Amino acid sequence: MQHPHRHTPTLRLLLLLLLCSCSDPVFYSSVPSYPVQLQLNIWGEYNYFVQGSGFQTLCFTERRYETDFLGYAGLLLWIDMGDQYRAADLCCPHCLDRDAPVRVDGIYAVCDKCGEEYDLSFGVANPTKGISKEMLRRYTATFSNGRLTVSP
């Protein structure tokens, strides 16, 4: 006869799965949350920024239209090595200086204040030097019918 309070391996596995499924899927960032909304006509105005043309970047630090919202320090858009559109805030999460946005140098976004380099090649913008403990604040980049939309 089994002890009534003893858990079976199946019950333990179910509890573990339940705990894992309750984790918060939201990405945490020290960069303050500011409105983000940008639409680009890739097949028209930005026809050079297309998937299949290799690693590319675009930076926006000033609004083009009243409907554009560029996050805290501006928007960095890029096509990564996996040929996916990506978006992140231009603010270094270590320095948090919106007046000193990161700049792109090859496959890195570089913060001139602290020297951190964020690797953009595979889409996650991870810090490479260990100065910053966070990746760049990411946004959603969705491509549909020739339009690239960036949203929170």
Homologous superfamily (CATH) of 33-151 is Rieske [2Fe-2S] iron-sulphur domain (2.102.10.10)
pLDDT in tens, 60-76: 999 999 999 999 999 99
Residue spans per domain, the chain: 33-151
User: Which segments of the chain does DSSP mark as H helices, in order?
Assistant: 9-21
Q: Environment class of residue 121 by beta-carbon count within 10 Å: exposed (0-12), middle (13-18) or buried (19+)?
A: middle
Q: Reply yes or no on whether the pLDDT at 20 is more than 90.
A: no
Q: What is the pTM of this model?
A: 0.81
Tokens found for residue 99 = 């007046």
